[in-house]
Amino acid sequence: MAQRVTGWVGWVWFGAFALLTVGLFDLVAGLIAVFNDEKVLAWGGGQGVWVLDISTWGWVHLVLGAILTITGLALFSAAMWARVVAIVVVVVNMVWQFVWLPVTPWWSIASIILGAVVLWALTVHGDEVERAVS
């Protein structure tokens, strides 16, 4: 009996596009920060001030952007390693959004909900992508 492909494959593709888009944005933001490193970012969230070196922030975003972009592209080929990396990235992002919940509540809630849907699609329906591609 052949297993059918459901509409959840679309959510896996959505996750791939999301990773690809965020990865490209991180690459651009990282490049801007690396080449414009004389600025320092300071943010006071009522609990003190965070001071970040823009150059370090830029290199972190460059590396993260490259990982996200490669993972997003690999998800389109239904690579198993890409699903595993994507799941890890989505879980880390969801935890990070919980940390930022007091600062940006609406964005964090939306990101957590969207992450949960993509996580569900990747874990439960990820094997359907292999059938859809082949």
Q: Cβ(23)–Cβ(133) under 8 Å?
A: no
How far is it, in rounded angstroms, from Cα 32 to Cα 36?
A: 6
Which pTM value belongs to this model? 0.74
Residue pLDDT, tens place only, 82-98: 999 999 988 988 888 88
Structure token digits, residue 60: 């972190």
74 close to 133: Cβ distance less than 8 angstroms: no
d(CA 15, CA 36): 31
The tens digit of pLDDT for each residue in 24-55 reads 988 888 888 888 766 655 555 666 666 666 77
pLDDT for residue 48? 62
Token pair 């070196």 is at which residue? 53
Give residue 1's pLDDT band: very low, low, confident or very high (50, 70, 90): very low
Tokens matching residue 14? 């959505």
Q: What is the DSSP letter of 134?
A: -
Q: What is the mean pLDDT of the chain?
A: 82
Q: Which amino acid is at 133?
A: V
